[in-house]
Structure 1
Amino acid sequence: MEFLEMIFGRIGDLTWGWSLIPILVVFGAFITIATGFVQIEYFGRMFRVLSNKNNSDDNSQISAREALLVSVGGRVGGGNIAGVAVAITLGGPGAVFWMWAIALVGMATSLVECSLAQLFKRKTDDGGYRGGPATAIMHGLGASYKWLAVVYAICLIAAFGLGFNAFQGNTVAGAVQDSLGVDRLWTGIALAVISGFIIFGGIHRIAKASDVVVPIMAVGYILMALVVILMNLSDIPTVLTTIVRNAFGWEEAVSGGMGAAIAQGLRRGLFSNEAGLGSAPNVAATAHVRHPISQGITQAFSVFIDTILICSCTAFVILLGDVYVPGAEGIDGVALTQQSIVFHLGDWAQYYLTLAILLFAFSSIIYNYYLGENALTFMTQSKAVLVSFRLAIMGIVFLGAVAPGATAVFFFSDPMMGILAIVNLLAIMMLFPVAMRLLRDFREQLKDGVERPVLNPDDFADLDIDREAWRGHNG
């Protein structure tokens, strides 16, 4: 075991340690410039997904909004509550600015990776769609790259399907035990049963569950933060000034100054919104939309919601209170967020935060499960294997909840996600010209007065796309 931990630790050092974050930042900036700041160009269009007008006309299909909410449910999690607190503790208030910056470039990265997943999606026997980076690699780069797609699929199952679900179960059970005094056993049983009910219903039940859970958790958390902001409205200019001054080293809050702010802001921002990591495209491919870029725009909006809205809520709750003391040793993580909320709103708020953590973690569990399922179906169509995987997820969630020490077994999760991200970035780089073709097609249709651009498969006849999957999208 020690040998395996050493190997995976080295993999983690080689990916997250020094190479992956700079690559994600540089590549995100490149995509932003090459696409002409596409995330700014279509920012107003992103909000259309919230109305029924932009959703699927076929009720049997996953709509653009449902795909958005599933991905938001996955992106929004512990990183938005505990991760932001850690970033501020280690990097100072300036880390928040760099979280915003990485979200801006991440929106462009997410748009491209999710548009490619949409283009190469495949129609399934039940009339739905499946796709993602593995499918895009297989059909976009050719069968000779199947080995790369398999590496991606294995890493996706290991990191998200198995490892991260154990940690989510642990997070929920710990929060419920600390604030409500409920034994981990009962939380584990409830979480496993509810998760099983939803994941055995497939992507449609997952989408319906997210359509209910995600708006409640996101809107509720944002409203709570708005109350805190309104209570401290006169202090907002001071907080914003502190964030900017600390971000550029004009005002040092922690040791490391500007360097610590950049490092923590970028790292926590990327971990939170997952742009470029290759996870969200698996969900993006399930949506029934008229043009791949439409779902790319929707998924860019998901990054905006996760980091610019939700993470900022946590940041302002912390920075507007007196619990956080720059550079001081003491509480951090979820405890810092929790005590800051209590400082503003009173003791009852800790129970509210527990509910938020529970909803955040639950939405992440069903999202992580679907990522694993999608990767599994890429490698095998066996129903028995799929059922076994679903039962295994229920067991892993239960184990993570009742035996917190057992999550140490999943030490391979972060290194696997590192490999996953590198494979995904390689695929995006090689398929970027295709993404630019899609973007040009989308822009030309808008220029010609087409309010809702439609993909014409004949215009991409040289590519291995599933024409059946794109038939009838102009309905």
Structure 2
Amino acid sequence: MPDFFSFINEIVWGSVMIYLLFGAGCWFTFRTGFVQFRYIRQFGKSLINSVTPQPGGLTSFQALCTSLAARIGSGNLAGVALAITAGGPGAVFWMWVAAIIGMATCFAESALAQLYKERDRHGQFRGGPAWYMARGLGMRWMGVLFAIFLLITYGMVFTGVQANSVSRALLYAFDFPPVATGVAMALVVMLVILGGIKGVSRMMQWFVPFMALLWVFTSLVVCLMHVGELPDVIISIYQSAFGWQEAAGGVAGYTLSQAVTSGFQRSMFSNEAGMGSTPNAAAAAASWPPHPAAQGIVQMIGIFIDTMVVCSATAMMVLLAGNGTTYAPMEGMQLVQKAMIALVGDWGAGFVAIVVVLFAFSSIVVNYIYAENNLFFLNLDNKRAIWTLRIVSCSTVVIGTLVSFPLLWQLADIMMACMAITNLTAILLLSPVVHTLASDYLRQRKLGVRPQFDPMRYPDIEQQLAPDTWDDIHRE
């Protein structure tokens, strides 16, 4: 079975996904007027505006922290280590490239989710790819397909990956039994998810900044302790990215291919750009200023924080420990722990274990919230279906601690590709709408007014929208 999944992964990620991710990112970069570069100076202002509370939804900052909670998980630790093991230091460079290009894709999917959101019977905004497939494209069947993919991926597979990484880290550092880890995590997760999306978002707006800063600060301290080796590490990243280190050996083509594939795979698992998960959080926000593009810009900040900051922190420590040249054939989380031991001493393994518990816990909780959100789209938002999902998700936490590590990552890659292919197809078909939103936002910025989306300016779009989401905006 692992060989079969490995074969599927090689086909999907060796050709289809790399070109699709790269092509979609470049296309939306062009269609949005290079939005990730144009608004980089606005990131600080967008963050300040994101804390402004609005009726009927989460604040943009809560939505950002919720999406970051899902992004910042074991992929930022074990995933980075796996990328370096498979593709060498050059994989880090391609992770950065994938993130920069993916910011435009993230803008597109998040803006669309905000545009096509609806209110549930409790007055909470809900939306995501399934909604813009149904409303924007008129293809409810496509939305149903995506919702099923997401339920499997986030309700089970990704949760298992996170739990597996935690159990292995605690076993390595403290000899803690994997089953006990799974049961303890499952109980805590169950208690937290009972609070629903509002309760989780209120928790994550404090929890996520703390855990991210903890890891980044540690990395900065470690880098300062080994500052003399940093230039060699950075040089090795760029040389390996294009196969220059291996050119003399005649294997440059293979090494470059591995670096690109590993970098894009792990970047996508970490920052989730184009996969269709982040829009589920973006749609829940009552965006401020009241324009769909504003939420797209806020969510772009999440890509930058996740990959360019948190993943880079992990990469620097792994490469410093390995001196940028050799990597032991061990599983990802143990590689990070051994790197920390080499850099700071024996306590490093325990510290990494504690960090991964924080990272994985937040991811598991928000994974469930994403899955529950899609039950609403499938009209399964009844107590029986919701409790079934809760039990399945928490059971997967326990099961994930016992399943083979390579098998879990291969399953995750396959399901990630299924979601991404479906979602990218939808947002590419909706790219004229993305262009309209980006242009409308930019037009108002140039006029020096607060951007405000008025659906009456766009009759074709207005007739696709839920009647109780944007109707009152132009009357403010």
| Fold conserved between structures, TM > 0.5 | yes
Aligned to 2:238: 244
Is the 1:176–1:182 contact (alpha carbons within 8 Å) kept by the matching residues of 2? Answer: yes
> Displacement, 1:413?
4.6
Aligned partners of 1:371, 1:454: CA distance in 2, in Å? 28
Q: Deviation per CA, 1:257-314, whole angstroms, max 9, x where unpaired? A: 3333223222222222111111111111101111111111111111111111111111
Aligned partners of 1:81, 1:382: CA distance in 2, in Å? 37
Is the 1:173–1:187 contact (alpha carbons within 8 Å) kept by the matching residues of 2? Answer: yes
Structure 1 residues 70-469: aligned runs within 5 Å = 70-142=66-138, 145-252=139-246, 256-289=254-287, 290-321=290-321, 323=322, 326-327=325-326, 329-331=328-330, 333-380=332-379, 381-401=381-401, 403-404=402-403, 413-450=412-449, 452-463=450-461, 464-469=464-469
Aligned partners of 1:241, 1:407: CA distance in 2, in Å? 30
Give TM-score scaled by structure 2 length: 0.91
Aligned partners of 2:3, 2:396: CA distance in 1, in Å? 23
Q: Give the 3 Å change call, closer, same or farther, for CA 351–304 of structure 1 in structure 2.
A: same
Aligned to 1:20: 17
Aligned partners of 2:101, 2:348: CA distance in 1, in Å? 34
Is the 2:161–2:408 contact (alpha carbons within 8 Å) kept by the matching residues of 1? Answer: no
Q: Give the 3 Å change call, closer, same or farther, for CA 43–181 of structure 1 in structure 2.
A: same
> Displacement, 1:177?
2.5
Is the 2:60–2:285 contact (alpha carbons within 8 Å) kept by the matching residues of 1? Answer: yes
The aligned amino acid for 1:341 is M
Is the deviation greater in 264-273 or in 370-379?
A: 264-273
The aligned amino acid for 1:351 is G
Q: Deviation per CA, 1:103-143, whole angstroms, max 9, x where unpaired? A: 1100011000110011000012222100000000100011x
SS of equivalent residue, structure 1 residue 105 = helix
Aligned partners of 1:11, 1:117: CA distance in 2, in Å? 30
Q: Deviation per CA, 1:120-178, whole angstroms, max 9, x where unpaired? A: 00012222100000000100011xx1111111111111111112212222222222232
Q: Give the 3 Å change call, closer, same or farther, for CA 225–9 of structure 1 in structure 2.
A: closer
SS of equivalent residue, structure 1 residue 462 = helix
Aligned partners of 1:7, 1:89: CA distance in 2, in Å? 21
Pairwise CA RMSD: 2.5
Is the deviation greater in 188-197 or in 436-445?
A: 188-197
Aligned to 1:45: 42
The aligned amino acid for 1:77 is G
Is the 1:84–1:314 contact (alpha carbons within 8 Å) kept by the matching residues of 2? Answer: yes
Is the deviation greater in 374-383 or in 13-22?
A: 13-22
Q: Deviation per CA, 1:441-472, whole angstroms, max 9, x where unpaired? A: 1011111111x311112223322112422356
Aligned partners of 2:404, 2:262: CA distance in 1, in Å? 27
> Displacement, 1:408?
5.8
Give TM-score scaled by structure 1 length: 0.91
SS of equivalent residue, structure 1 residue 141 = coil
Count of aligned pairs: 466
The aligned amino acid for 2:120 is T
Aligned partners of 2:409, 2:267: CA distance in 1, in Å? 23
The aligned amino acid for 1:432 is S
SS of equivalent residue, structure 1 residue 19 = helix
Is the 1:129–1:286 contact (alpha carbons within 8 Å) kept by the matching residues of 2? Answer: yes
Aligned partners of 2:445, 2:231: CA distance in 1, in Å? 39
> Displacement, 1:317?
0.9
The aligned amino acid for 1:387 is W
Aligned partners of 2:405, 2:80: CA distance in 1, in Å? 25
Identical columns (%): 37
Aligned partners of 1:194, 1:287: CA distance in 2, in Å? 26
Q: Deviation per CA, 1:236-272, whole angstroms, max 9, x where unpaired? A: 3332222222222322399533333223222222222
Aligned partners of 2:338, 2:195: CA distance in 1, in Å? 38
5+ residue gaps, structure 2: none
Q: Deviation per CA, 1:304-362, whole angstroms, max 9, x where unpaired? A: 111111111111112223x3562565445222221222222222222111111101111
Aligned partners of 1:67, 1:118: CA distance in 2, in Å? 11
Is the 1:166–1:407 contact (alpha carbons within 8 Å) kept by the matching residues of 2? Answer: no
